[in-house]
Amino acid sequence: MAGAKDMLAGFGSVIASLVFMCAIFQQYFPHHLRTHIDKYSQRIISLVYPYIQITFNETTGERFMRSEAYIAIENYLSTNSSKQAKRLKADMMQNNQNLALSMDEHEEVADEYKRVKIWWAFGKNVSKTPTFSFNPVADEKRYYKLTFHKKNRDLIMGDYLNYVLKEGNAIKIRNRQRKLYINNGAKWSHVVFEHPATFETLAMDPHKKNEILEDLMTFSKGEEFYERIGRAWKRGYLLYGPPGTGKSTMIAAMANLLKYDIYDLELTAVIEDIDCSRDLTGKRKKKQDNSDDSNMTDEEKKTNFIDGLWSACGGERLIVFTTNHVDKLDPALIQRGRMDKHVELSYCGFEAFKILAQNYLKIDSHPLYPKIQKLLSEKNITPADVAENLKPKTASADVSTSLQDLVLALKLVNQEVEQK
Ligand SMILES: Nc1ncnc2c1ncn2[C@@H]1O[C@H](COP(=O)(O)OP(=O)(O)OP(=O)(O)O)[C@@H](O)[C@H]1O
Ligand SMILES: [Mg+2]
């Protein structure tokens, strides 16, 4: 940028001389001659000054409305400029956990697009007209200024600006606070979604976990693919398995991975077997006795309902259904297209146990591991029950006590079954 700036300074003095000459011409030459000369001087200026500058103001028209383009550029530069700019401003983000870095005033950064250099500068003009205002910030007019060589005009004003706006909006979505929407009758209400579950802490077979992760990432990056094949950008997941195997935990991990909001629908009135109306705390909601006297069979009602749900959603959507009884579901209901990916979450195996031990006890191995491995292969225990045993029960509890508790619990599993 230094070279380019020196050049700009040089051109600046050339332009100043031209402007001075123009003023002299205006005084001494007749009008028709002047317009002629004006035309030529404009051409000369554009010849010697090869850069184009575009200013994006924060507010346009309506006084307090922030421009969408400005916000997108701000987001784009907050990610891209923090690597380069030497003076940065730090602000707390909405979730009060992360710092958002952005360019400080009069800071400039260079960007590169398809091997073309572009410069961004951040600045502000303070209103000169003395106005009385409760909000002094409102009198500052902040802007981003984009500078590029005029030979790249088409590329920058087309492709590059589109790219910046799209990328900026995507960053905004990634950084926003996510919400859990709950449907109460006719109304949606929402709470801030803050569930700590991640795929890393989810206890399940690592191969299966990776397969799901890949499937989700492919889906989330699949906008162009879905557009090309002419299908809606949607994917349906069916998670099935006994209570306490991590279905709701996985939904939270999915939402955290993809930065999606969660919509929790109360469908139990229509769909008794499909348990997709669970809240994320794991509490089961009461089923409503809502008898419908239409002629439709239960299965038809369910299928219609799910198809209705699919077509009601526009854009990028992942719909997750969970059930404890996959065997009771009608095949039409779970066919691909309605539920594309079926995932079984099951009792805790040794691999899943190791992840839980890592989460809860921060250990990778222990002399009790072989014994636990053998017991897990013989008995059915849910990850929820394993986790419960690994939690410290007293302040003085240590790793060995927790693992011994688990061994004891595992030994008791069969006894309970026998007693039943
Ligand atoms: N696979 C798992 N990985 C990590 N933690 C788990 C897993 N399964 C269960 N847990 C723990 O057990 C608790 C209950 O699990 P969760 O609510 O996800 O079960 P679920 O399969 O949705 O059960 P339900 O069928 O009753 O809805 C979770 O809060 C979590 O702490
Ligand atoms: Mg659940």
Query: What pLDDT, in 10s, does the model give residues 206-251?
Result: 999 999 999 999 998 888 898 899 888 888 888 999 999 999 899 9
* Torsion, Cα of 358, 361, 364, 369 (10° steps): -110
Q: Compute the distance between CA of residue 356 and CA of residue 72 in angstroms, rounded to an integer.
A: 41
Per-residue pLDDT tens over the stretch 290-333: 444 456 666 676 677 666 666 655 567 888 888 888 887 778 77
Residue 394 predicted with pLDDT over 90: no
| Average pLDDT over the chain, rounded to an integer | 78
Report, as an integer, the average pLDDT of 273-288.
Answer: 40
CB 323 within 8 A of CB 275: yes
Tell me how far the alpha carbon of residue 27 is from its chain's centroid.
Answer: 61
> Tell me, what's the pLDDT at 28?
62
Per-residue pLDDT tens over the stretch 157-188: 999 999 999 999 888 887 777 888 877 666 77
Question: In one letter, which amino acid is 176?
Answer: R
Q: Which atom of ligand 1 is nearest to the CA of 280?
A: 17
- The phi, psi pair for 54, rounded to 5°, reads -125, 135
Q: Which two tokens stand for residue 55?
A: 């200013």
The 10 Å Cβ neighbour count of residue 416 is: 8
Per-residue pLDDT tens over the stretch 248-266: 899 989 988 988 887 776 5
Tell me how far the alpha carbon of residue 151 is from its chain's centroid.
Answer: 36
Q: Which atom of ligand 1 is nearest to the CA of 201?
A: 4
Q: Which atom of ligand 1 is nearest to the CA of 202?
A: 3
Distance 247 CA to ligand 2 centre (A): 5
Per-residue pLDDT tens over the stretch 330-344: 787 777 667 889 999
Distance 259 CA to ligand 2 centre (A): 20
> Tell me, what's the pLDDT at 393?
81
> Tell me, what's the pLDDT at 280?
39
Q: Which atom of ligand 1 is nearest to the CA of 250?
A: 18
**CATH topology for 183-344?**
Rossmann fold (3.40.50)
Distance 313 CA to ligand 2 centre (A): 23
Q: Which atom of ligand 1 is nearest to the CA of 384?
A: 12
DSSP state of 66: B
Identify which ligand lies nearest to the alpha carbon of 209.
1
What three-state secondary structure class fits 242?
A: coil
| CA angle (29, 33, 35) in 5-degree steps | 110
> Tell me, what's the pLDDT at 326?
84
- The phi, psi pair for 190, rounded to 5°, reads -140, 155
Q: How confident is the model at residue 26 (pLDDT cuts 50, 70, 90)?
A: low
Ligand 2 (ion): residues with CB under 5 Å are 247-248, 278
Q: Which two tokens stand for residue 315?
A: 């854009």
Q: Which two tokens stand for residue 14?
A: 């050339």
What is the chain's percent helix, strand, coil content, to nearest 5?
Answer: 45, 20, 35
**Highest mean pLDDT range out of 255-259, 272-276, 404-408?**
404-408
Identify which ligand lies nearest to the alpha carbon of 195.
1
Q: Compute the distance between CA of residue 288 and CA of residue 266 in angstroms, rounded to an integer.
A: 10
Q: Compute the distance between CA of residue 264 and CA of residue 320 in angstroms, rounded to an integer.
A: 10
Question: Which residues make beta-bridge pairs with 180?
Answer: 191, 262
Give the residue, 379 or 126, on which the prediction is more confident.
Answer: 379
Tell me how far the alpha carbon of residue 284 is from its chain's centroid.
Answer: 28
Residue with tokens 């072989």: 370
Give the residue, 283 or 166, on which the prediction is more confident.
Answer: 166
CB 228 within 8 A of CB 330: no
> Tell me, what's the pLDDT at 1?
46
CB 140 within 8 A of CB 63: no
Residues with CB under 6 Å of ligand 1 are: 202-204, 243-249, 278, 282, 324, 345, 383-384, 387
Reported ipTM = 0.99
Pocket test for ligand 1, best of 237, 249, 251, 380 (most atoms within 8 A of CB): 249
Q: Compute the distance between CA of residue 256 and CA of residue 254 in angstroms, rounded to an integer.
A: 5
Question: Which residues make beta-bridge pairs with 124?
Answer: 142
Residues in the chain: 420
What three-state secondary structure class fits 354?
A: helix
> Tell me, what's the pLDDT at 179?
81
Identify which ligand lies nearest to the alpha carbon of 241.
1
Annotated domain spans of the chain: 1-49, 52-175, 183-344, 350-419
Residue 281 predicted with pLDDT over 50: no
Per-residue pLDDT tens over the stretch 33-56: 666 766 777 777 767 788 999 999
257-287 burial, b at 16+ Cβ within 10 Å, e below that, comes to beebebbbbbbbebbbbbbbbbebeeeeeee
Q: How confident is the model at residue 83 (pLDDT cuts 50, 70, 90)?
A: low
Residue with tokens 């530069």: 77
Edge to edge, the sheet with strand 262-264 lists: 187-192, 179-184, 262-264
Residue 270 predicted with pLDDT over 60: no
